[in-house]
Amino acid sequence: MPRPIALGGVVPATATPFDREERVDHRALERLLEFNIAQGADSFFIGGSSAECFLLSHDERIAVFETAAQYRDRAYMTAHVGAIATREAEDLARRAAALGYDAVAATPPFYYGFGSEAVYGYYADIAQASGLPVVIYNFPGNTNRPFDLADPVTRKLFKSDFIMGVKHTNQVVYQLERIKAVNPTLIVMNGFDETMVAGLALGADGNIGSTFNFMFPHYKKIYDLFRAGRLDEARALQVRANDIMNALCDVGLIPAIKYVLGKMGVDVGVPRRPFRPLGPEQCAMLDRVLAENLRND
Q: Hey, what amino acid is at 203?
A: G
pLDDT tens string 173-205: 999 999 999 999 999 999 999 999 999 999 999
* CA proximity to 94, closest of 81, 77, 110, 78: 81
* CA proximity to 203, closest of 185, 218, 216: 185
* CA proximity to 8, closest of 54, 35, 42: 42
Query: Residue 1 has what pLDDT?
Result: 66
Mean pLDDT calculated for residue range 258-281: 97
Q: Hey, what amino acid is at 83?
A: A
Mean pLDDT calculated for residue range 134-160: 97
**Mean of all residue pLDDT scores within the chain:** 97
* Residue 106: Cβ within 10 Å count: 24
pLDDT tens string 208-220: 999 999 999 999 9
Query: Residue 2 has what pLDDT?
Result: 81
Mean pLDDT calculated for residue range 114-129: 98
Side-chain-side CA neighbours of 29 within 13 Å: the count stands at 28
Q: How confident is the model at residue 272 (pLDDT cuts 50, 70, 90)?
A: very high
Query: Residue 34 has what pLDDT?
Result: 98
* Residue 120: Cβ within 10 Å count: 18
Query: Residue 123 has what pLDDT?
Result: 98
pTM of the model: 0.97
Mean pLDDT calculated for residue range 162-175: 97
pLDDT above 80 for 268: yes
Query: Residue 75 has what pLDDT?
Result: 98
pLDDT above 80 for 162: yes
Question: Backbone phi, then psi, for 21, in 5-degree steps?
Answer: -100, 15
Q: How confident is the model at residue 3 (pLDDT cuts 50, 70, 90)?
A: confident
pLDDT tens string 40-97: 999 999 999 999 999 999 999 999 999 999 999 999 999 999 999 999 999 999 999 9
pLDDT above 80 for 16: yes
Mean pLDDT calculated for residue range 11-16: 98
Question: Are 132 and 102 contacting, i.e. CB atoms less than 8 angstroms apart?
Answer: yes
Query: Residue 257 has what pLDDT?
Result: 98
Task: Tell me the chain's radius of gyration from C-alpha atoms.
Answer: 18
Quote the crossing angle between the two packed helices 86-98 and 116-130, to the nearest 10°. 30
Mean pLDDT calculated for residue range 30-35: 98
Side-chain-side CA neighbours of 184 within 13 Å: the count stands at 0
* CA proximity to 201, closest of 188, 183, 212, 182: 188
Residues carrying an active site annotation: 137, 167
Sign of CA dihedral 210, 217, 135, 63: positive
